[in-house]
Each structure stands twice: as structure tokens, then as C-alpha cells.
Chains A and B, each alone.
Chain A
Amino acid sequence: MRMKRLLAIGMAAGMMISTAACGSSAAGTTGTAAGTTGATESATTGTSATTAASDGKITHLVMAFPTFTGAPADTAKVQDAMNEILRKKIGVEVELQISDLASYKQNMTLALSSGEQIDIMNTIMQDYATLIAQGSLTDLEADNLMQTDGPGIVSTIGQDYVDACRVDGKLYALPGMRDYAQGKGCIAVGTEYLDAIGYKEPEGSGEIVKITEDELNDILAKLHTQFPDMEVMRPATSGVSQYTNLDFLGGNIFGVLENYGQDLKVVDAFQTDEYKNFCKLMYSWNQNGYISKDATTDTTSVGTLEAAGTLIAYQTGGKPGSKAQESSGGNRDMTIFQTKDDYMSSSSVASFMWTIPSTTVDATAAMKLMNELYTDPGIENLLIYGIKDTNYTVKDGLAETIKDESGTAAYSTLGWMAPNQFLSYVGSGNSADLWDQIKSFNDNAKKSSALGFSFDGTGVTTELAAVQAVYDEYQKSLEYGFADPDTTIAEMDKKMMDAGLQKIIDAKQEQLDAWAAAKQSN
């Protein structure tokens, strides 16, 4: 009897403890995300996670950014290597807080709203205007912060591109060095399929082959005849952005500039000829059988499909290095065709920028670190590639990441997001002068007249939600070519107008005019 009582009390106590533990994990998706962050954080910080400077000399800073899969295995080692340099140089040690892309937004929202220390943060997956409106970012020029502690930054990036990130004249973020322009109207095609139809690239084409739209249609028709059982083309939701000359003002399709943003008149995208022609093109491709009937429901990435050998071609954004990038993703040699011009849109520079949030413990130290990230090649290589000969090897001046049997790298982050990837090694598979190619690509591309404009949508949130709902309903049917554009575009446009599209367009025009006037007077 006594044993039974003890057993009963012991079990009751055990249940109490286990339900208390359950309580935290059952708190819904945000709770689970926070739990994952906690796990990620404890994995990345091999050293202690103390926030304030202990001996008064070394400031501990937190740098937050994402990769596709989260914190790599060797993050702690790379962190230590970076800190060895940083401690001596600027008296700072950094903690790399790396999340996976999917939970990055939630992690940052939670961190900023709870006042958690973040000293350097990338704005990817977040809305720049919202961050500023909520007071989450530090003004980088307040008290001459950038001039004093970040002297190398403006000369590295270029004043024009720095100015493209201003909002109301104030600078809250810095763009990373990367390709700001994009080759519009690009299609990536597996080279072996082109060989099978006897296509030869014209002499002196270079990395990207420039052809006309008629020639492209011709090639696709031949591919379809040669390979009737394969999917010739897989569209994507980024199709309109990558394949037309419309400038997505403010980062969305509701109110655009036509003709490579050459004049500052905001129009309804769905009434433009450009959009109609795009949908007509997709419709003709679909009617000809180039597109799989499951294209709308299948969420597999085009890289996976290409590598699996079920897909021949897909739309992409062109730039120097895209041939190597697409070939590596598709696991076969790819040829990139371009049918339109290179273009730098209004929102392309002010995307995934580097900021100093207002929850920083020491803005001066953070700015010094920012300066190092933009000017020190050693730090940059560590940040992107990791430790030499442990995480990557250098052959002929190109870096090759070391991967294990399953194809996972112990350390690798996204070069295009880094503050200054031009300081690091060029990745293998590209030509050694890739960075120079990108710089001239940026300089020679058509630039939008609205470059540097950012849209504050807080006055039209209801309308944005409503038109987004209408767009979600029709987007894939129209842009993947399943619905007849002649009737469906008008139908969708009418619904959008009823939902308040004109109000959004008017708001954008008003803000654009004010921005242009302020720019003139400066």
C-alpha cells in the first residue's frame, strides 16, 4: 500500500514537470519559431553570449543575417577566426546570428520588438519603410557617425548607390556590393537539349546569348518537337518582374512605371501593353504544350527539375555569372538567352541592405565593424567562405567550397548578401574577373528614374490586402498561360479597381512626385 502511494505521488510529480515543459513548446507557431531560434543561437555561440563589454575594451556585437538552411556547422570556428582579427583592429568581437531564410523574418521581428541586442542586421524578408516607421533603425549619419567611424564605406560603394537607400533624405541602410541591374527577358536552357536540335551559338556571344523573341519562340518550338514528352518551359511567379520592362515601384506590382522607368508616371500594370503581351506569350506557350499542366500546383524548384532531367528551360534573371550559377543549380551546362535589356529598377538597390538597428549596444562600435565588413578582404572571405583550407580551397584564384559526401558544406554563406563580396574570392566556375564584369554591368545598365524611391504603404494597408487577394486568385492562371488573357485580364483589373487599386496608384504617384521634387531641390 505504501509503495503504491509513493508511486502515485512520484508519477503525479513527473507529470507536473513534463506538462510544464510541454506548455512552452505548445504555444503556437511563434513559440516554435522562438524555440528554434533559441536552439540556433545556442548552436552558433560556442563562446558565452554575454552582451555588455566585460573588461571595457572589447565590445561584443551581434550580427544577424540568414542563409537558406540556417547556421552552418562551423559558424563558431569562423567567428573565432574573425574575432582574432577584429579584437586587435577595432576592439570588437562579433557573434554571428545566422537563421534560415524562412524563420529569419519572425526572428528579427521578435528580436527588435523585445529590445534584444542586434548591432548589424540585413533587411532581407523585411519591409524597409516599415522598419523605419517603427523606429527600428539607426540614422547612419546622425552625429557624423558614418563619416567618423565608417570612412571607407561611401568610397567603396559609390555615392549614387548609397543615396539610393535614403528615405526622406536620411540614410538608414547601406546596400551590399552586388549586381543591382538584371538582364530582363532571360531564359535558361539546358545546353544538351540545344545540341540535340542542332542549335549553335552565334560567334562571340559571350556568357549570355542575346536573341530576339521570334528566335526564342523558334528554338522552343524545335525543342518541343524534339522532346515531346518533356516539359519545355516552367514559368515562375517572378515572371512579370524578370520578363517585362515594368518597374515595380515600391516593390509590388500595384502601380508601376512603364518602359524601364524612364518617366515618373505611375500606371496600372494590368492595363499596360507590356503585361498583356507577356500574358499572351505565356498563353501561346501553354497552348503549344510547352508548359506542364501541373505547373501551378507543383512547388518544386526549377533547379531541382532541371537536375532531375524533366525540365528543359525556365525563366531567370540575367547577370554576369548566371551561367555558372544556373549550371551548378541544374547540375548540367546551361545556356542563357536574353531577349530584353539590362535594367536597374527603382527598388533593386534598396533591397537586402545592411543596417544598424536601434537595439544596438554601441552604434560607434557597430559602425566600425560595418567599415571592416566593407573594406577588409580577410574578414569578407571569412564571412562568405569560412576558414581557408578547412572550409574552402583556392585554385587558380577561384574559391571552391569543401563539401562532404552528402553535398553539405561545413561553412558557406550567401555571397550576394554580404556587404562587399567584391573583396572576396570569385567562386569556382566563374571567370576570374567576375567582379569587374558586374561593376561594368551595373554601370552600363539602363537605370530607372525612380532609383532610390521607397514607398510607405501604411496609408493603404486595407487596399493592399484586398488587391493582393485578387492578384493571388488570378496570378498563376494568367501568368502561367492557363487563362485566356483577352478576357481574364480585364476581369481581374475590374476586381482590383473595385478593391481600391486606384487609391494605391494615387498614393504612389503622390509620394513619387514629392520625392522627385525633394531630389530636384537638393
Chain B
Amino acid sequence: MNTMMKKAGAVTAPAHKMNGKRIRRFIPVYLIMLPGLIYLFINNYMPMPGLIVAFKQYNIKKGIYGSDWIGFKNFEYLFKTSDAFVITRNTILYNVAFIIVNTFMAIMVAIILSELYGKAKNFYQSAILLPNLISTVIIGYLVFAFFSVENGFINNTILPLFNKDSVDWYSKSQYWPFIIIFVSAWKSVGYNCIIYLSSIMGIDRSIYESASIDGASKMQQIRYLTLPLLKPTIIMLTLMAIGRIFYSDFGLFYQVPMNQGALYATTNTIDTYVYRGLIQIGNISMSAAAGVYQSVVGFVLVLLANLAVRKFDKENALI
């Protein structure tokens, strides 16, 4: 027994015994991690001091560090307009809807997939993952094929079936929350369900066997076994999603509504607003200000959400 454990490697040894022998065993692992860490440091940490460009009047000749300070002036355009409320509301509400709908769909699909075996499972897993790999520009045109006013599938085939008139889809903003939430779910369920699927696969099968011996139905097994065991994963992913609550998938909100002004009331988010405004003006400091605003708020929200989780369920809090 002891020799077998020794051969299996030092993973079973207690963690505080980090002597030289153990470090040497892990060197290949560290080496593999190294390029990723270097890239992460260079790409994500080194540019951080550049955040100050959001507080400066950026001048190409003077560079970031030489430009003049103007305090919070670059942030004004985000709050001054009447659009400010609309874009913030849209961003937050859509993200809340996405968190709820996408999590629900991903878990459902993961549970269903976990019941499949063999070739069927591989096929469905790949098929469900496919939408996530399609560029949002193409998705925008797929949606256009359905919703085009003159030649779309819905106006020409589906609505006549119910004897209804054509709808001007790209001018009426009230339908778009539903369309966008649907497209987002369709796109991301494949990717999101992978994590839940791997968690479910990690659950010991014997628990289910003993539950069915005790007379639990499938639904009861899901409700009392699978979901509680998935709780850490759900909490972790939801917390991370909350951290990104002020960000939106730019492609989804810009390409799918085909950049139509008439739909701005329900499809304009912080990212699209900043892009549209600044692509004409090209002011780097103002765009940076928007980014700082989004990340700072997201950071604060993650900490708050984590605090909330810690109060209820200490084990599952991220920090």
C-alpha cells in the first residue's frame, strides 16, 4: 500500500511538505504554466498603469505620461446625456436576464447530456457547441434572414400561417429584448454547459443508485442530489458573471440588431454607446474612461456579491 502511494507521486503527500524534492517533481508543471503566466502578466497587468489615460487629455506628442491631467472630465459624457440611464439600465437588466436564463438552460442541457452515453453524447455536445463558434456578424445575418421585413422567413412564412400582418421588426424596439435573450441563450448554452457537465460527471454515481433504490424519481434525484452538488459551481460562475455585469457582448448588441438607430431604446448598452460616439471622434481618453468605469463598478460588485454569499454560505464564497 505504501509503495503504491509513493509510486503514484507526491500529490497525496501533505501540502506543507514543500521541500526541494517536491518542487523538482513539479518543475515540468511550472514550465507549462510559465508562458501562460508571462502572457497574462504582459497583457493584463503591465498595461494597468495606463488606466491614468482616462484622467488625462491624451496628446499623441506628449504620450500617456506627459499629457495634462483633467480629472473626471472624460467621464462626463457617460452621465450627462439622457441616454445614460437607458444604457446603464439596458446593460444591467440584460446581464441579469442572461445570468438567470443562461444558467438555467446550461444546467438543464448539462443534466440531459449527462444521461446520454457514447456517440449520441459526443454528437449532441458538438452540435450544441457550434453556435458559440459562429461570429456574431454571421449570427446577425442569420437573424436578418428570419426577421428581414421584405424577405424574412417570419414575415413571409410564419406570420401568414396565423393570418397576421408583416411586422417591421427592425423599427420596433419592444420585441428585441426577447430576440436578444433568445440569441444569447442559443449561442452560449453549449459553452456554459461544459463546466456544469464536467461537475456532474464528477459526482459519484453510487449516490444516484442508492437514491433510486430508496424510491426517488428522476426529478427528485435532480432536485435533491444534482442541484445541491452543483451549488459551488453555480455560485462561482454567477459571481464571475456579476463581475462582468457592466460589460456586454458588443457583437450581440451591435451586429444582431444590425446597428439600427430605431432600436437603440432596447439595444443600446454602454459598450455600443461608447463605440458609436467615439468611433467618429476618436478620443482615446474618453474611451478609456468608459472602460475604467465598467471595470471599477464590476470590481466593487464582485466584492459585494462575494460578501453576500459569504454571509449565507461561507464555504462557497470565492474570496
**A interacts with B:** yes
In the A-B complex, list the 7 residue pairs whose CB atoms are closest, starting with the nearest.
A465-B277, A293-B149, A19-B35, A473-B261, A23-B39, A462-B77, A135-B61
12 further A-B contacts with Cβ under 8 Å, apart from A16-B34, A292-B150, A457-B281, are A8-B28, A12-B31, A15-B32, A20-B38, A23-B39, A134-B59, A296-B171, A462-B76, A473-B264, A476-B262, A498-B81, A498-B82
Q: Give bound CA distance, A379 to B144, whole Å.
A: 48
Q: Which of A20, A130, A294, A464 contacts B151 (CB 8 A)?
A: A294
Q: Give bound CA distance, A475 to B77, whole Å.
A: 21
A27 within 8 A of B: yes
A138 within 8 A of B: no
A9 within 8 A of B: yes
B43 within 8 A of A: yes
Q: Give bound CA distance, A461 to B74, whole Å.
A: 9
Contact A477 B171 (CB under 8 A): yes
Q: Give bound CA distance, A9 to B28, whole Å.
A: 7
Pick the most buried of A19, A134, A297: most chain B CB atoms within 10 A of its CB.
A297
B170 within 8 A of A: yes
Q: Which of B168, B258, B276 contacts A468 (CB 8 A)?
A: B276
Q: Report chain A residues within 8 Å CB of B80.
A: 462, 466, 499-500
Q: Give bound CA distance, A410 to B136, whole Å.
A: 33
Also in contact, A468 and B280, with CB within 8 A (given A16-B34, A20-B35, A477-B261): yes
Chain A 259-296 near chain B by CB (<8 Å), digits 1 or 0: 00000000000000000000000000000000011101
Q: Report chain B residues within 8 Å CB of A474.
A: 261
B97 within 8 A of A: no
Q: Report chain A residues within 8 Å CB of B28.
A: 8-9, 12
Q: Report chain A residues within 8 Å CB of B32.
A: 12, 15-16
Chain B 18-63 residues near chain A, CB threshold 8 A: 28, 31-32, 34-36, 38-39, 42-43, 59-61, 63
Question: What is the CB-to-nearest-CB distance from A191 to chain B, in angstroms, rounded to a whole number?
Answer: 26
**Chain A minimum-CB-distance residue to B87:** A469
Question: Which B residues have a C-beta under 8 Å from some C-beta of A?
Answer: 28, 31-32, 34-36, 38-39, 42-43, 59-61, 63, 73, 76-77, 80-83, 144, 148-151, 168, 170-171, 258, 260-262, 264, 273, 276-278, 280-283, 286
Q: Give bound CA distance, A498 to B81, whole Å.
A: 8
Q: Give bound CA distance, A252 to B262, whole Å.
A: 21
Contact A130 B282 (CB under 8 A): yes
Question: What is the CB-to-nearest-CB distance from A256 to chain B, in angstroms, rounded to a whole number?
Answer: 17
Q: Give bound CA distance, A297 to B171, whole Å.
A: 10
17 residue pairs from A and B, CB less than 8 Å apart: A294-B148, A294-B149, A296-B170, A297-B148, A297-B170, A358-B61, A457-B281, A462-B73, A465-B283, A465-B286, A469-B83, A469-B264, A472-B261, A472-B276, A473-B261, A474-B261, A476-B262
A210 within 8 A of B: no
Q: Report chain A residues within 8 Å CB of B258.
A: 296-297
Q: Which of B59, B260, B276 contacts A469 (CB 8 A)?
A: B276
Contact A466 B149 (CB under 8 A): no
Pick the most buried of A23, A498, A500: most chain B CB atoms within 10 A of its CB.
A23
**Chain B minimum-CB-distance residue to A252:** B280
Q: Give bound CA distance, A296 to B258, whole Å.
A: 9
Question: What is the CB-to-nearest-CB distance from B312 to chain A, in angstroms, rounded to a whole number?
Answer: 38
Q: Give bound CA distance, A252 to B280, whole Å.
A: 10
Q: Report chain B residues within 8 Å CB of A130.
A: 282
Q: Which of B82, B171, B264 contacts A472 (CB 8 A)?
A: B264
Q: Report chain A residues within 8 Å CB of B281.
A: 457, 461, 464-465, 468
Q: Report chain B residues within 8 Å CB of A293.
A: 149-150, 168
Contact B144 A297 (CB under 8 A): yes
Question: What is the CB-to-nearest-CB distance from B290 to chain A, in angstroms, rounded to a whole number?
Answer: 10
Chain B facing A: main interface SS: helix
**Chain A minimum-CB-distance residue to B32:** A12
Q: Give bound CA distance, A31 to B151, whole Å.
A: 39
Q: Which of B31, B61, B77 contacts A466 (CB 8 A)?
A: B77
Q: Report chain B residues within 8 Å CB of A294.
A: 148-151
**Chain A minimum-CB-distance residue to B29:** A12
- Size category of the A interface is 35 or more
Pick the most buried of B34, B73, B76, B81: most chain A CB atoms within 10 A of its CB.
B81
Question: What is the CB-to-nearest-CB distance from A58 to chain B, in angstroms, rounded to a whole number?
Answer: 29
Q: Report chain A residues within 8 Å CB of B60.
A: 109, 112-113, 134-136
Q: Report chain B residues within 8 Å CB of A135.
A: 59-61
Contact A495 B82 (CB under 8 A): yes
Q: Report chain A residues within 8 Å CB of B144.
A: 297
Also in contact, A482 and B34, with CB within 8 A (given A297-B258, A473-B264): no
Q: Report chain B residues within 8 Å CB of A23.
A: 35, 38-39, 42-43
Q: Report chain B residues within 8 Å CB of A482.
A: 171, 262
Chain A 36-85 residues near chain B, CB threshold 8 A: none
Q: Give bound CA distance, A465 to B258, whole Å.
A: 21
Question: What is the CB-to-nearest-CB distance from B173 to chain A, in angstroms, rounded to a whole number?
Answer: 10
Chain A 233-273 near chain B by CB (<8 Å), digits 1 or 0: 00000000000000000001000000000000000000000
A127 within 8 A of B: yes
Q: Give bound CA distance, A22 to B39, whole Å.
A: 9
Q: Give bound CA distance, A457 to B282, whole Å.
A: 12
Pick the most buried of A8, A12, A135: most chain B CB atoms within 10 A of its CB.
A12
**Chain A minimum-CB-distance residue to B42:** A23
**Chain A minimum-CB-distance residue to B39:** A23
Q: Which of B39, B76, B149, B280 contacts A19 (CB 8 A)?
A: B39
Contact B77 A465 (CB under 8 A): yes
Contact B277 A466 (CB under 8 A): yes
Q: Report chain B residues within 8 Å CB of A469.
A: 81, 83, 264, 273, 276-277
Also in contact, A468 and B277, with CB within 8 A (given A12-B28, A16-B35, A482-B171): yes
Q: Give bound CA distance, A475 to B264, whole Å.
A: 12
Also in contact, A476 and B261, with CB within 8 A (given A297-B144, A464-B281, A469-B276): yes
Q: Give bound CA distance, A15 to B168, whole Å.
A: 52
Q: Report chain B residues within 8 Å CB of A113.
A: 60, 63
Q: Give bound CA distance, A498 to B151, whole Å.
A: 38
Q: Give bound CA distance, A490 to B70, whole Å.
A: 35
Question: What is the CB-to-nearest-CB distance from B284 to chain A, in angstroms, rounded to a whole number?
Answer: 9
Q: Report chain A residues within 8 Å CB of B34.
A: 16
Q: Give bound CA distance, A292 to B39, whole Å.
A: 50
Pick the most buried of A19, A136, A464, A465: most chain B CB atoms within 10 A of its CB.
A465
Q: Give bound CA distance, A26 to B38, whole Å.
A: 14
Q: Report chain B residues within 8 Å CB of A470.
A: 83
Q: Report chain B residues within 8 Å CB of A20.
A: 35, 38-39
Q: Which of B63, B148, B151, B283 contacts A461 (CB 8 A)?
A: B283
Question: What is the CB-to-nearest-CB distance from B148 to chain A, in angstroms, rounded to a whole number?
Answer: 6
Contact A297 B260 (CB under 8 A): yes
Q: Report chain B residues within 8 Å CB of A464.
A: 280-281
Q: Report chain A residues within 8 Å CB of B276.
A: 468-469, 472
